[in-house]
Structure 1
Amino acid sequence: MAVTEGTVPFRGFHTWYQAVGGSPGRGGKPPLLVVNGGPGCPHDYLQDLALLAEGGGRTVVFYDQFGCGRSAHQDAPALWVMDTFVDEIAAVRETLGLDPVHLYGHSFGTQVALEYMLGKPTGVASLVLAGPLSSAPLYQEEARRLKATLPAEVQETLDRHEAAGTVDDEEYVGATMAYYRRFLCRTDPWPHHLVRSLAQVREDVYATMWGSEWNITGNLKDWDVTDRLGELDVPVLVTSGRYDVTTPAVVRPIVEGIPGAEWVLFEKSAHLPSIEEPEHYRQVVAGFLSEVEAD
């Protein structure tokens, strides 16, 4: 498959992108624009979605969000707010001519995609929300419940280092892996592209906007758009895993709040069915996109 890379001007800096399957905005099926999770995490872990471009006719566009990966890095805490990442979607779409487009968000990317869609942009054919959340407080409540299912010694290690502010300690990092291997990705070993993404996370961006999985202290701690989900008026596919950090309690209000939303639960997956059940996952997403285009 053809792969092109380049940069998009953004706020005096640049956002790096990669288009798989041909040049975007050149006809054919509407491209799929992928907004990955984070914040502060590059897109690499979602590269299995590139195979949605197989067979021709559709381009899959990835980008590294501003401040991480191959995009411009800046020490600018004032920019680590939701509006920055919402505006970035608009900049990528405009520069690459992504109109119409299917929009795909994963995890934090679903938060950005929801905010973007609530701004009523034109030319969005559909929305895929993967491992989504519409309420940070609800996510935190469920994350703390999941944490409480870990072995007592793991919980003690996490609590002790968080209280001491020593979250960079190797013991703490090791304890968090017990959580992630249950609720982020259950594949063993983890694939290289997931390891590569996590190794490049901008911890300062993540801390400013989020905090920790179960202790949200950043500027998104009160973020909640659940009451506005009824404003969405495009076809929506929601996906999540049986063992997902975005538990059914987190996902269900989204499905119930969006008119006509379809929900597919992947029984063998945690937060990354695109890695854990890749062929089945791509079949579901491809089928949804084709149905939208057939209407």
Structure 2
Amino acid sequence: MKFNNGEYKLSINGINHWVKIEGYENKTIPLILIHGGPGGNHYNFERTAGRIISKERTVVYYEQRGSGRSDKPESADDYSIDLLVSDFRILKDLLEIEKADLLGYSFGGELALEIAYAFPNNINKLVLSGPSLMYSNIQYLVQLQGFMSVAKGSLLERMETILKENKSIEEKYNEVWSNVDTKTVDQLLFEDQSVAEQNRLLWNKSGLQNTGQMMKALYKNPPQVPLLHRLKKVGHETLLITGIHDRNTGLSVSKIIDRELNNSSLELFFNSAHFPEMEETEKFLRLTLEFLNTED
């Protein structure tokens, strides 16, 4: 690897990307972390599971174009899976990384699979925590069902009305999201609401916001062939981590991905929703590090 520990701004496809390296002294295969959102950031992961992982592994954080501490592209439409994969390739080349492990969470798990599909010889192992399949209707259904399971009172009644409307599932999904409040989102994402509170405090402390721009643009520019139909060609050794209460991307999505991949194992977290690294941190770290530290 070319760079030592520290934070950097690297120009990738004309956009300055925030990059941080920790655990360089461990001299392991670099573990590149891929955040979710789309349009999220690594701030919380850095301060929870990431700081422990970097005690044993060489860790590379980077925030995707228009996300977190990276710069935004000039056009609001300048996002696509192909562009994100291209950004990753240039990042890898700039850091002089020949082969990397990937840890992707939420949408980052989906993007990690896209990267492994695009560069099979440059990726070693995959850790996918609560991965999404955003171009599949099942993703809409999982979240709609999730909101229905935690909503109460007038909000639940409003959701019932929305679901009866003569609209597409995407339109219903967007309308539900426009009606939910912070408490309901926390209940969707976390089983333990005390952990949800810790998470939101970190979100607020970061000062970083997801504008939603990337998600809108990605839906406008879908891959020609959905990832779901290409998963059988991803042969990397893969650890899938999923909370059984995940109401955001969902256990059913992880089971589909596990079924389609050729070399995967699925580990269930029985006290977690969408963020097992925060709700069952010790188990998350143990399984992730055992998987990464085991020689092929």
Residue matched to 2:152? 151
Aligned AA for 2:272?
S
Residue matched to 1:125? 124
TM-score (norm 1): 0.82
Out of 266, 270, 279, the position equivalent to 1:267 is 270
Identity %: 24
Residue matched to 2:226? 224
Out of 185, 195, 198, the position equivalent to 1:190 is 198
> Offset of 1:208 from its aligned partner?
3.1
Q: Is the 8 A contact 2:235 2:263 kept in 1?
A: no
The 1:281/1:13 distance shift into structure 2, 3 A limit, reads same
> Offset of 1:46 from its aligned partner?
1.7
Q: Is the 8 A contact 2:79 2:214 kept in 1?
A: yes
Deviations 1:185-212 (A, max 9, x none): 63412233344568511232333335xx
2: CA distance, partners of 1:140 / 1:40: 18
2: CA distance, partners of 1:147 / 1:198: 26
Deviations 1:22-55 (A, max 9, x none): 27xxx82101100100111122122222311214
1:92-103 to structure 2, matched below 5 A, reads 92-103=91-102
> Offset of 1:75 from its aligned partner?
4.1
1: CA distance, partners of 2:177 / 2:239: 37
The 1:20/1:130 distance shift into structure 2, 3 A limit, reads same
> Offset of 1:257 from its aligned partner?
0.9
Aligned AA for 2:96?
G
The 1:13/1:185 distance shift into structure 2, 3 A limit, reads farther
> Which structure 1 residue ranges, 5 or more long, are not aligned?
211-217
Q: Aligned to 2:67, what secondary structure does the other structure show?
A: coil
1: CA distance, partners of 2:81 / 2:190: 23
The 1:7/1:258 distance shift into structure 2, 3 A limit, reads same
> Offset of 1:138 from its aligned partner?
1.2
2: CA distance, partners of 1:157 / 1:221: 33
Q: Aligned to 1:78, what secondary structure does the other structure show?
A: coil
Aligned AA for 1:120?
F
1:191-270 to structure 2, matched below 5 A, reads 191=199, 192-196=201-205, 199-209=208-218, 218-220=220-222, 224-244=226-246, 245-270=248-273
Q: Is the 8 A contact 1:34 1:103 kept in 2?
A: yes
> Offset of 1:68 from its aligned partner?
2.1
> Offset of 1:247 from its aligned partner?
2.0
Would you say how many aligned residue pairs link Structure 1 and Structure 2?
Answer: 275
> Offset of 1:148 from its aligned partner?
2.1
Residue matched to 1:215? none
2: CA distance, partners of 1:195 / 1:239: 26
Q: Is the 8 A contact 1:37 1:106 kept in 2?
A: yes
Deviations 1:207-245 (A, max 9, x none): 3335xxxxxxx5459973222211112110001111112
Q: Is the 8 A contact 1:15 1:72 kept in 2?
A: yes
Deviations 1:42-73 (A, max 9, x none): 22122222311214xx2111111111221112
Residue matched to 2:10? 8
Aligned AA for 1:235?
E
